[in-house]
Structure 1
Amino acid sequence: MKRFHVHAHVDDLTASIAFYSRMFGAEPTRVESDYAKWMIEDPRINFAISTRGSTPGIDHLGIQTDSAEELAELKARAESADLALHDVGETTCCYARSDKHWLTDPQGIAWEHYHTLDSIPVFSEKAAAAEPASACCPPQAARPVSPTRGKPIAIAVKSGGSCC
């Protein structure tokens, strides 16, 4: 079974952990000095926050698979639909070793498809040779530049009444 993934950058990790813990009704499953993650079952989501980004807000979305077969299915679907895919293969990021690839939607939103292989004690194990793009983050060339990218969008919230 697959799990929806959201990774957001935050300015204040402590305040954000407190907020999301109350919102989800659960404490994070992993907390590091620059990172926290909740593995929620209802709804089935892997929600992560970190202080590693330059601008607060959504960094990327993704789908985490439970098996290599599910990841291969997502990759085959993307390739058969002729979607531009950046295949990273096995890499380390976000305190985990994973097999992954990236897609970027028409708005420039990065989508990560990955299968977690193991937990690691550091955010990322850097290769000895310099990498052209971080395997942890989508390649910047795949992200179209947008004047509104990374800027919060104001959404009016009404009390009472119905919505959606």
Structure 2
Amino acid sequence: MNRFHVHLNVADLDASIAFYTELFAAKPTVRKDDYAKWILEDPRVNFAISNTGRAPGVDHLGLQVDSSEELATLGKRLEAAGGTVVPEEATVCCYAQSDKNWTEDPQGTRWETFHTFGDATTYHAPDAACATDGAACTPGVASMKPKIDKGASCCSPASACC
């Protein structure tokens, strides 16, 4: 079953954690110095906030799935919707290991579809800046190209890296 995902950038992590803890009547499922996440059943959402130096507001929206097969199905739906789909395999982001697909809607809102298969000890991998901006684990899709070599460690900006 899919779970809706919202990731907000916040200016004051502690104040935001206090606010959302009260709003959701639950403590964060994950709490780090720069990040917090609630995995809620009602509503069924993966709600994350971070204070990683980006402007406050919506960072990206997404759908979390339970399997690689569901991720592949969503990837096909993203391709059918149009725009560039950027895959990231076995990436470290938001203290988790995941396979992902990124795109942007017609207004430029970043969308992430992902399947998480493990925990990580860091917010992003040391080489995450290659695939993403490094601050929020979200690529600038417009400047990205899908990776050609499946063995490569990341997708890359068209002008650099892989």
Q: TM-score range by the shorter chain?
A: 0.7 to 0.9
Aligned to 2:21: 21
Residue pairs, 1:58-97, within 5 angstroms = 58-97=58-97
Q: What TM-score do the two structures reach when normalised by structure 1? A: 0.80
Identity %: 51
Instruction: Please report how far the alpha carbon of residue 6 of structure 1 lies from its aligned counterpart in structure 2 after TM superposition.
Output: 0.3
Q: Following the alignment from structure 1 to structure 2, what is the Cα–Cα distance between the partners of residues 134 and 65?
A: 24
- C-alpha root-mean-square deviation of aligned residues, in Å? 2.0
Number of residue pairs matched by the alignment:
142
Structure 2 unaligned residues grouped into runs of 5+: 145-162
Please state whether the residue corresponding to 1:107 is helix, strand or coil. coil
Please state whether the residue corresponding to 2:58 is helix, strand or coil. strand
Please state whether the residue corresponding to 2:28 is helix, strand or coil. coil
Instruction: Please report how far the alpha carbon of residue 118 of structure 1 lies from its aligned counterpart in structure 2 after TM superposition.
Output: 0.3
Aligned to 1:47: 47
Q: 1:55 to 1:82 in 2, by over 3 A?
A: closer
Aligned to 1:99: 99
Residue type of the alignment partner of 2:74: L
Instruction: Please report how far the alpha carbon of residue 134 of structure 1 lies from its aligned counterpart in structure 2 after TM superposition.
Output: 4.0
Aligned to 2:132: 133
Instruction: Please report how far the alpha carbon of residue 125 of structure 1 lies from its aligned counterpart in structure 2 after TM superposition.
Output: 1.6
Structure 1 unaligned residues grouped into runs of 5+: 144-164
- Could you say which structure has the larger radius of gyration? 1
Please state whether the residue corresponding to 1:115 is helix, strand or coil. strand
Which whole-Å deviations, capped at 9, do the CAs of 1:103-148 have from their partners, x for residues lacking one? 10111100000000101111112239x61534721226359xxxxx
Please state whether the residue corresponding to 1:98 is helix, strand or coil. strand
1:31 aligns with 2:31: yes
**Is contact 2:102–2:111 with CA below 8 Å preserved after alignment?**
yes
**Is contact 1:133–1:140 with CA below 8 Å preserved after alignment?**
no
Please state whether the residue corresponding to 1:39 is helix, strand or coil. strand
Aligned to 1:120: 120
Which whole-Å deviations, capped at 9, do the CAs of 1:18-45 have from their partners, x for residues lacking one? 0000000111001000000000001100
Q: Following the alignment from structure 2 to structure 1, what is the Cα–Cα distance between the partners of residues 19 and 77?
A: 36
Please state whether the residue corresponding to 1:131 is helix, strand or coil. helix
